[in-house]
Amino acid sequence: MLVKTCGIMTNEAASTAVLSGADLIGFVFAPSKRYMAPEQAAEIAKTLPSPIKKVGVFVNETAKTITAIAGKVGLDYIQLHGDEPAAFAEQLPYPIIKAFPATQESLAELKDYPCDYYLIDSPFGGNRGGNGTVFDWTVLKDLNVDTNKLILAGGLTPENVQEAISMTAPVGVDVSSGIETNGRKDLSKIQKFIKQAKG
């Protein structure tokens, strides 16, 4: 089970995630309380072991800016979390994770999108993702899609991640608010979440 810890903002949180077994570390480069300046992300990225994949989260950003930030930080994946069309993803010279809100309309477009992973998240709240709300996982049962490309997100916590995995059989899970206390990454929750997801 791949585990992506997203919205990482400190060396301590990154290190805890890595030591606990995270596979991907996500940095948010979009308007959000978890926004990270590329220079800061680059400093944290330098400390990560090479097997750990670095993901940059972008929302309706230009290809030029994405490529520049990816180069500066040393990103391995670009996560598109906005309304980016398929043609936009195709012009980026990086593997792509594309986020889709769990609505029938969005999920209908999923199969034709050129990406390495589909990240299914709760329908949009105040921000694109990171809202900490669970959606009805049963909507994925009729989604005739390769689960080896499916990453589940949206309100996952150490308490519900095992149930989510057993119901949806994704290749990976993505967590942000579910490993926070009072809006800050909680090191014990990071450890507990990864242990439950991998258990």
| Residue-wise DSSP of 87-144 | HHHHTSSS-EEEEEESSHHHHHHGGGS--SEEEEEPSP-SSSS-S-----GGGGTT--
- pLDDT value, residue 123: 82
Residue 84 has pLDDT above 90, yes or no: yes
Residue 125 has pLDDT above 60, yes or no: no
- In this prediction, what percent of the chain has a pLDDT beyond 90? 81
- pLDDT value, residue 124: 64
Q: Which two tokens stand for residue 160?
A: 């519900």
Residue 168 has pLDDT above 60, yes or no: yes
Which structural domains are found in the chain, ordered by start?
2-198 (3.20.20.70)
Residue 156 has pLDDT above 70, yes or no: yes
Q: Taking residues 19-28, what's their average pLDDT?
A: 98
pLDDT band at 128 (very low <50, low <70, confident <90, very high): low
